[in-house]
Amino acid sequence: MPSDMKLVTVHTLAQMKVRGDRIVALTAYDALFGALVDGAGVDIVLVGDSVNTVLCGQPSTLNATLDQMIYHGRAARAGVRRAMLVIDMPFMSYQVSVEDAKRNAGRVMQETGAQGIKLEGGAAIAPTVRALVDIGIPVMGHLGFTPQSVHAMGGARVQGRGAGQAERVIQDARTLAEAGVFALVLELVPTPLAALVTEAIAPPTIGIGSGPHCNGQVLVLPDMLGLNESFNPRFLKRYGQLGEAARQAIATFSQEVRDGEYPDADHSFAE
């Protein structure tokens, strides 16, 4: 690691909010993309349980497993050198009891080398957040649309519309901040509400589909690269068209093999 490479920590993120510097976060699930994302200078690499839908073809994140998250977390760790590596705790790995949460989050930290974990939920999980923070495990929170509660929420819908729901989001955010989260993801939250939450708490907010007033933004890497072509939510901006590029490359390779053009002399060994 170069001597001038400054690691991103919980303190780095806190200072970025104070200074007004925007935080950049992306997902990665393996060493290859972990290294590419890290090398491009992002601040947080999130090993999201979205791996279950994006790479494994499952309909939701609900059947992601702890072993699966540890596997992908360890793989991403091999490529990430500067950014803060945060790993999602999968469904039912922290909701049953505080002791379960400690044991499972401890495994994630110990077996992957991550610098933090992420939990979904509001005030109900605050005691778990506090217990994890008390034993030295940094916790990122997640409010708004929480994919592990997709069925209870009736699908991927904007959360916090209406005065009552908005107040609940703000109170949940304050409760999580008091419990010790180092950052808070706001997913599918109306822009004015995300601005209020960002002002109401000290930890930085990381938005996804929650407007420009959050302290940072996160996207799922295959989505923003254009690899997941069937996923077209309003908030997603594609910064690449890698799906089409890959399709064209594969088609060219296939044609050259069938035509006997590959491998040619330049790609073979004479002796």
Q: pLDDT by residue (tens digit) across 64-115?
A: 999 999 999 999 999 999 999 999 999 999 999 999 999 999 999 999 999 9
Judge contact between 69 and 90, C-beta under 8 A.
yes
Domains of the chain plus CATH, in order, are 10-240 (3.20.20.60), 241-271 (no CATH)
Q: Which of 187, 199, 244, 271 is catalytic?
A: 187
Calpha distance 185→209 (Å, rounded): 10
Q: Is 111 a catalytic residue?
A: no
pLDDT category at 3 given cuts 50, 70, 90 is very low
Residue 43 tokens read as 């601040």
The predicted model gives 134-143 an average pLDDT of 98
The DSSP element (H or E) to which 14 belongs, if any, is: helix 10-19
